[in-house]
Chain A
């Protein structure tokens, strides 16, 4: 195997040789070597090859701007002193920078503790969720059993029923959790699971966490697309289905595992509806951000009514704080993620 560098070198040489050959052919007259169709095909390709990159750049640049606009705005506002918000001469670049907004927001959100709490919740739930959902998705993708269509219809139901509908009965279930001894065991003697992390872990453990239906669906689609010969070979070698799944299918489905894991982390991090229904004391970053408006008014303005305009710098600073950890993680995961996606492409 040639290394990547060498491969690039080969590619270059190949292209140069091709160009030279084409030039030579042109000098001697193209129609000697190629049919008219081939000539027009080549010409068309050359034209498209010259124009398309420019179009592509314009499209991508424009759309990237649309996406990055709020982020640039956030950066520009978060480090700007509050007075300069009303200064018409300041548009993007403030006249002076300050860290005060960030500091204030850090205190208001109690960011250190909140972030650690959120990360723990997030990781445990996501890992559980990815494992159980992949197993379920595989079960739906590759086995024929009675009632499969019906059960899968339930998965679809889980996707389309938003958590808002089941939250209130679910709250009652957690609050009066049965069997009681299990609740006491899980929470050190409390009778209700409300405010404990188990309201997140338990559903995730049983493949019913946040948007689990969607993850099962993704896994099922992915496993269905993998060639069946892979497993048949394993079965002939005498592997049990579970062993086949762990040793043969999982490595082949790496990219979908990464995709689902990324989604899961992000959604748990951003979720505020479910956590606000089950947590009253157990604070997550998203919850803090949701309540930032009121909290800011209380601490900085003594509980007076303030408009969004007055506290915008703090709000933006809070946004920046809360997306920074996940953004950093994303930048790293993104690399692995794309590698994973590409590797799966080569494996085929």
Chain B
């Protein structure tokens, strides 16, 4: 049998797979044995290195050997199929892992070290003097703007994220329908993606503010601001229910410019998920007599839920990371004043809060996300 395998140009992986499936249990038993742990680890590193095309030749020999030899002894070396696949997983992320160590973790930890030090820039690097938690204490106790900005930031994010999300889903569903000029409409709605991240948007907004015309965001706020909401409420017979409500409503309406200009990417993500809904699902729903509303909640939402999660994460992160937001402004301001230690401390406190917030949101939404696999 072994000769047959060696002679036929069978792909070695296939031999391996069959072999492994057949003897998986034995291999698992072997893996449980304490002595083999080290061997496994050694082989693990070997596999990682061997993802190059040379690997098949070796595995052929190994597999053949294993098939030929009496079972028990050789099996100690073999890994179960699942575990081997796992090792390939390491192979896939190794490039990223290396890069992350150098380009992310090292500078990140470095900035954490800055935050516990009084820093001074001189030629050849950073001069540091350890002062413990003093930077953090200063940020929360002495700097009044900082904690105030933090609270405002959280509030506005909590308010904005669902708005942007609902808006994006709404627009994406519309853009997914068939109508004349759809391509044009899509192109227009993604335009903010191209423009809003660059310095162009600053100039546009800046120009609009100072350029004689009120335009852009300014114009749209004045258009709606003329107490439209109050008048509407009065018309409905509601007087002075609460200032905060009218204020909130007002901000919602005046922020429409902001909303449209910030939801391009979310629309894109959700639209691409919408395209993934199979036509058969729609046909089945129609035969069952589902209304559009039912179809939306029972079919559309579950299908696009992974991308909804992605959009939520993106929206939250985008608003936290935006250099224009008040907290980031303070942090960057301190950094450009050469107070790197203080600015690093502020940034670290900020991100601890953001990370906790994001973790809660993701954990919550993940419960409702539907993956086709699993």
Contacts and interface: CB of A to CB of B under 8 A. Distances in A.
A172 interface: yes
A132 B96 contact: yes
A335 B373 CA distance: 30
Interface in B67-106: 82, 85-93, 95-100, 102-106
B165 interface: no
A59 B309 CA distance: 26
A336 B193 CA distance: 17
B271 A341 contact: yes
A130 to B, nearest CB: 13
Contacts of B320: 160, 162
Interface in B209-249: 210-213, 215-216, 219-220
A266 B193 contact: yes
A282 to B, nearest CB: 17
B372 A225 contact: yes
A311 to B, nearest CB: 10
B14 A338 contact: no
Contacts of A208: 96, 99-100, 102-104
A188 interface: no
Interface string B7-27: 000111111010000000000
A301 B218 CA distance: 29
B99 A172 contact: no
B180 to A, nearest CB: 9
Given A145-B86, A221-B306, A224-B373, A151 B203 contact: no
Contacts of B56: 240
A319 B310 contact: no
Contacts of B211: 85, 308-309, 312
Interface stretch (B28-36, B138-146, B155-163, B260-268): B260-268
Per DSSP, chain B at the interface is: helix
A56 B200 contact: no
Interface residues on A, range: 35 or more
Contacts of B98: 206
Contacts of B219: 69
Interface in A27-59: 37-38, 41, 44, 48, 53, 56, 59
B154 interface: no
Nearest to A236: B17
B332 A154 contact: no
Contacts, number: 308
Contacts of B45: none
**Most A CB within 10 A of own CB, among B51, B88, B351, B358:** B88
Given A135-B95, A341-B272, A67 B261 contact: yes
Contacts of B92: 135-136, 138-140, 143, 241, 245
B93 A164 contact: no
B340 interface: yes
Nearest to B261: A67
Given A67-B188, A238-B11, A166 B107 contact: yes
Interface in A305-326: 307-309, 312, 315-316, 318-319, 322-323, 326
- Ranked nearest first, the 10 interchain pairs of A and B with the lowest CB-CB distance are A206-B99, A143-B89, A139-B92, A270-B198, A238-B14, A345-B275, A238-B11, A169-B110, A169-B107, A145-B86
20 contacts: A48-B292, A68-B188, A69-B219, A73-B215, A132-B96, A143-B85, A160-B354, A164-B332, A217-B313, A225-B373, A242-B91, A271-B197, A290-B199, A315-B207, A319-B203, A323-B200, A331-B187, A334-B186, A338-B186, A341-B275
Interface of B: 10-15, 17, 51, 55-56, 82, 85-93, 95-100, 102-108, 110-111, 114, 125-126, 171, 174, 177, 179, 183, 185-195, 197-200, 203-204, 206-208, 210-213, 215-216, 219-220, 256-257, 260-261, 265, 268-269, 271-272, 275-278, 289, 291-292, 306-307, 309-310, 313-314, 317, 320-321, 323, 328, 331-332, 335, 340, 344, 347, 351, 354-355, 358, 362, 371-373
Given A41-B291, A238-B10, A319-B203, 7 more contacts: A85-B211, A140-B92, A169-B110, A217-B313, A238-B11, A245-B92, A330-B194
